[in-house]
Amino acid sequence: MVAAAVELAGGVPAVARLCGVSRQSVYSWIREWRVERLTDALKLSLASGIPVEKFAGQTIGSKSQPKRNEQGEAD
């Protein structure tokens, strides 16, 4: 979704200027499918019209939780 947002916002150079980051940073966001800093995600969201939630990458709770024993301690 980050790649589509970058294209809608005018491409990599335009997004880099908008967010005050390098083009390499924007390519990193595209490669990782997420935007690390909230301020950059908000700017990209406003410029592209895509909801900021789409730039978060992995959702909360999607990581596997460590198994717990009966006492609630991690195994």
Residue 60 lies in a domain: no
What is the pLDDT at residue 71?
A: 60
Per-residue CA distances from 44 to 25, 38, 61, 67, 70 (Å) = 13, 10, 25, 38, 45
* Enclosing domain of residue 23: 2-54
**DSSP string for 49-69:** ---GGGGS-SPTT-SPPPPB-
When divided into structural domains, the chain yields a total of 1
Greater model confidence, 39 or 75:
39
Residue 64 lies in a domain: no
Residue 71 lies in a domain: no
Q: Helix (H, G, I), strand (E, B), or coil: what is residue 33?
A: coil
Q: Is the C-alpha dihedral spanning 17, 22, 10, 40 positive or negative? A: negative
What is the pLDDT at residue 55?
A: 85
Greater model confidence, 33 or 71:
33
| pTM (predicted TM-score) | 0.73
Q: Region 1-8: what's the mean pLDDT?
A: 94
What pLDDT digit, counting tens, does each position of 29-53 carry? Answer: 999 999 989 999 999 999 999 999 8
Residue 66 lies in a domain: no
Residue of 42, 62, 63 lying closest to 52 (CA atoms): 42
What CATH code is carried by the domain that includes residue 37?
1.10.260
